[in-house]
Amino acid sequence: MKNSLSIISALTLAFPIGAFAQGTMKIGTVDMQRAFKEYNKTKDAELKINDAKNAAKKEYDDRAEAYKKALDEINNLNKQLESPALSADKKTATAKERDDKIANIKNMEREISDFRQTRERQLQEQLMRMREGIVKEITDVVMEKVKANNLDLVFDKSGMSINGVPVLMYSHDNIDFTNDIISVLNKPGRAASSTAKANPSAAPSRPAKP
């Protein structure tokens, strides 16, 4: 997450350093990590991810329970085969039934393993898509703020260097506009307006006849 959010810090490298000497540079800071956590859409997305995880766990548990039941049946058949009172014909039939169940349970093992790997991959991909989409939304709002206030540099306060040291060691609180970003993101009705902007090709509604 921090690698994705540090894109704001990386963008600052594009501005000329010479502006510092002129004393006219306008700088702002934003805590992208906090904006991500406090964005309502993030919370909704996390609920969806958790629901998907719970559904996958339930399906896995159901498969595991069926596997356990099949294993118990095999163990029970093995006990029957150990009985000296079992007739030859019955023993042959029981052995065949056990062997069939063993072949079936091996298929179940492969299916359970494939299911687990597939679901883990799907959940990871879903999580990454969710994060990337939300980070882009936050970045767009930040860039709107940058343009509106003619800022020259914006630092991500949550960004970390490759050495694990904060990229931004110190800044005045009065240049931080994280609260403004969060307010815009969580503005009532914003989601609907954002969807409309994302679909400019949609046919406009016809004006009602007088």
Q: HSE on the CB side for 57, CA within 13 Å? A: 6
β-pairing, 27-30 vs 153-156, is parallel
Which tokens hold the place of 109?
């093992």
Measured distance CA(39)–CA(185) in Å, rounded: 6
Over residues 9-28, the pLDDT tens digits come to 444 444 444 444 445 789 99
Over residues 162-200, the pLDDT tens digits come to 888 887 777 788 888 999 999 999 998 775 445 444 444
pLDDT, residue 207, reads: 39
Highest mean predicted confidence (pLDDT) among 13-22, 45-54, 149-158: 45-54
Residue the block writes with tokens 């939300």: 134
Which residues, 6 or more positions from 209, have their beta carbon under 8 angstroms from its beta carbon?
Answer: none
Which of 36, 26, 39 has the alpha carbon at shortest distance from 155?
26
Handedness of CA 7, 10, 14, 15 (dihedral sign): positive
